[in-house]
Amino acid sequence: MVKLAPSLAAIANSTSKGDSDYQVRQSAVGVVKASSNALFDLNEVDCPRCGGRGQVGLTGSLCGYCGGSCFVTKEAAKEFNPDDLDEVDCPHCGGRGQTGWVGDICIYCKGDGFVTHEAAEEYDPDEIDEVDCPRCGGSGQIGWNNEPCAYCGGSCYVSREYAESFDPNQLDEAECPRCGGTGQTGWTGDRCIYCHGNTYVTRQERDEYDPDKLSEVDCPHCGGAGKIGWNNEPCKYCRGSCYVSRETKDEYDPADLDEETCPRCDGSGQTGLVGDRCGLCRGDTFVSHAIAEEYRRRYTDR
């Protein structure tokens, strides 16, 4: 802009006192055009390190390349090489600037996402005042619904002092009496109907647990085992869930299932004195109606 000052002055002074309004306006237009061209010729582009923000990380630290100016010269942009900067991804947060599930600012890089090479080499997690939460093991979540841990609140980490003072008895939660703390029931991974997959319930809910008040009961076909016979075939009525709704239980009619007690082993799954696996049901204890009828037709003497 400074280089163009003489040209701009010449254009501006090209009018005289006696010039017409048209000539004055044309002179003004010339100044505007020359100024606009000068602006477009500015030797600056968005900083390639920060994208023109002038800041990096989550706490507004000044960009290490443009120093917060937001812009650099075109030459500087072409010469930019991230490897030349004294910064690498923070080894504690992996460059995210945050830890855990609730967006806690990384305790090592203070939210910048980057640290110096020296700081990265000196990184020692044992020297940081935070450890994996003793309640969730550092996952920050509990159960199949990924509920935030009741102790770290989803942060994944706690201070060493907080970890040492951890007492599970101080939390208002107890192992679900329905699923034993697994969050699932049956052989097909059904979500526990009592804790809804959270694996834990409140102490009051644990004390008030009454299976007779639940909307599901043991499957009437397999007795709640979820499997049938020596081969552990999934029950054809509950399909391995072990439980069915009370309505489904009331509708149970073994005649509706295409299976009946094996006529060869009388439903034991075994034959003989040494417990050979039944050759007809192969240990399943049940066979289809067609197989049972064919067996009785062929072996009328048995």
Residues 191-208: pLDDT tens digits?
Answer: 999 999 999 999 999 999
Residues near 138 by beta carbon (within 8 Å), at least 6 away in sequence: 132, 156, 157
| pLDDT of 108 strictly over 90 | yes
State residue 37's pLDDT score. 56
| pLDDT of 11 strictly over 60 | no
Structure tokens at 31: 């100044």
pLDDT category at 183 given cuts 50, 70, 90 is very high
Q: Which residues pair with 232 in a beta bridge?
A: none
Segment holding 261, helix H or strand E: strand 260-261
| pLDDT of 1 strictly over 50 | no
Question: Looking at residue 215, what DSSP letter applies?
Answer: S
State residue 8's pLDDT score. 47
Where is average pLDDT lowest: 36-45, 77-86, 145-154, 262-271? 36-45
Angle of helix 5-12 relative to helix 21-40, nearest 10 degrees, comes to: 170
Q: What's the CA gap between 213 and 217, in Å, rounded?
A: 10
Average pLDDT score over residue span 103-110: 96
For residue 151, count other CB atoms closer than 10 A to its CB.
21
Q: What's the CA gap between 139 and 156, in Å, rounded?
A: 5
| pLDDT of 43 strictly over 70 | yes
Q: Are 154 and 141 in contact (CB under 8 A)?
A: yes
Q: What's the CA gap between 72 and 79, in Å, rounded?
A: 11
- Which residue's structure tokens are 């329905």? 178
State residue 240's pLDDT score. 96
pLDDT in tens, 118-137: 999 999 999 999 999 999 99
Segment holding 200, helix H or strand E: strand 200-201
Locate all alpha helices (DSSP H) within the chain, ordered by sequence.
5-12, 21-40, 74-79, 117-121, 160-164, 203-207, 246-250, 289-298
Average pLDDT score over residue span 216-241: 95
Q: Are 175 and 202 in contact (CB under 8 A)?
A: no
| pLDDT of 10 strictly over 70 | no
| pLDDT of 146 strictly over 70 | yes
| pLDDT of 30 strictly over 80 | no
State residue 29's pLDDT score. 60
Structure tokens at 48: 């390639």
Query: What's at 107, amino acid-wise?
Result: I
State residue 36's pLDDT score. 57
pLDDT category at 39 given cuts 50, 70, 90 is low
| pLDDT of 53 strictly over 70 | yes
State residue 14's pLDDT score. 56
| pLDDT of 12 strictly over 60 | no
- Which residue's structure tokens are 């709704």? 245
pLDDT averaged over every residue in the chain: 89
**Which percentage of the chain shows pLDDT scores above 70?**
86
**Which percentage of the chain shows pLDDT scores above 90?**
84
